[in-house]
Amino acid sequence: MTDLAELYRDLHRHPELAFAETRTAAVAARELRAAGFAVAENVGGTGVVGALRSGDGPTVLLRADMDALPMAERTGLPYASAVDGVMHACGHDMHVTCLIGAAARLAERRDWSGTVLAVFQPAEEVGGGAHAMIDDGLFDRFGTPDVVLGQHVAPIPAGVVGLRAGPSFAAADTLKITLHGRGGHGSRPEVAVDPVVLAAATVMRLQTIVSRETAGGDTAVVTVGAIRAGTVANIIPDTAELHVSVRTYEARVRERVLSAIERVVRAEAQASGADRDPEIVLETSFPTVVNDADAVERTRPAFDGVAAVVDPGPVTGSEDVGVFATAAGAPLVYWLLGGADPAAFAGAGTFDELREVVMTLPANHSPLFAPVIDPTIDLGVSCLTNTARAWLRQD
């Protein structure tokens, strides 16, 4: 079998952004062919699908996402990103490595009947990869799965799996908001409409949607992740741009939050005397990840002897893996894979104490995020292999 630790280091050194994962896709295709899978490339852009059939039985879809993030790495690791401004800060390189390893194990020991679909998905970070693969005929070409399985590495101890039934990851909406002012000289703000001040007022007001308009029993997150305006100190620009991330679990909460954002943005523009209405564009949107309760219970024993299973509660991060399950009409089981050094949790005897340690560690999307290679890879491979076997027909 391929040295998975070295493969992971190689993938980490060579991150690729959404829909540009050509090198990563080639690695996945090469490894799948070596394991005996029938392989199709360029599915939904840069996606890769490997199919391994062994008699009659269920079809199990194992999914890994491939894309990295547009940010500079600061881990200082010897295998840190060699690409300026691009980093595997969310662990998708770990997901690819583990699925390659699981595919090889399932191919080596075929004491099962059915079909394994190893799906390497592009563009999870921008919310378009799963839809692109489905629109490219994923199920028509390779068969409709009976279950969708997958995992996401997280800063919980290696050896721990986070699994829960029901809503597990939040729905995500990304908005691009353009605020129109009236540019002018920095010395004469009275003849301009300053979109920078408008943007600042809007950002602060948006925070009240969660703190003052969302019920205590509901969950919502509104984050302004980017503000872009102006070029130099003495020019009032014409426009300012906000990029806003929204996370919710329930449709009614989502609708209320999105409506409130539009109301706040338009009201602040009017209050500032803007000549033009703001533009609000929904750039990406993907639904809540909902784990099927019966499927979770069927899958849970597969982790016995591999990892301790805990309920992490609803995760406010988001994922488009549920798109595969919804389109297929199949149950979904998606879990958190511990990737943090267990030594960091020494002395944490309760779940609350474990959570307190997690809060101190670099998390996904941090420039310092780096799962430990050992034992994370082996555990991730075992989790995918064992859960697939739990759904395939055993010979």
Residues of the binding site for Mn(2+): 90, 92, 125, 152
SS3 for 161? strand
Report the Cα 109 to chain-centroid distance in Å: 31
Start-to-end Cα distance in the chain:
24
Residues at the binding site are 90, 92, 125, 152
Burial 223-256 (b: 16+ CB within 10 A, else e): ebeebebbeeeeebbbbbbbebbbbbbeeebbeb
Q: How many residues are present in the chain?
A: 395
CA-based nearest residue to 327, from 88, 133, 181 = 133
Look up residue 321 and give its two tokens.
Answer: 């893996």
CB 207 within 8 A of CB 288: no
CB 365 within 8 A of CB 91: no
How many angstroms separate the Cα of 373 from the Cα of each of 3, 6, 91, 95, 377? 12, 10, 11, 12, 6
DSSP label of 362: P
Look up residue 90 and give its two tokens.
Answer: 């969310």
| Residue 184 CB partners (closer than 8 Å, separation 6+) | 191, 192, 235, 236
SS3 for 275? coil
Beta bridge partners of 236: 184
Tally: H helices and E strands in the chain: 11, 17
Amino acid letter, residue 226: A
**How many whole angstroms separate alpha carbon 175 and alpha carbon 259?**
12
Burial 195-213 (b: 16+ CB within 10 A, else e): bbbbbebbbebbeebbeee
Dihedral in degrees, nearest 10, Cα atoms 79, 85, 90, 91: -30
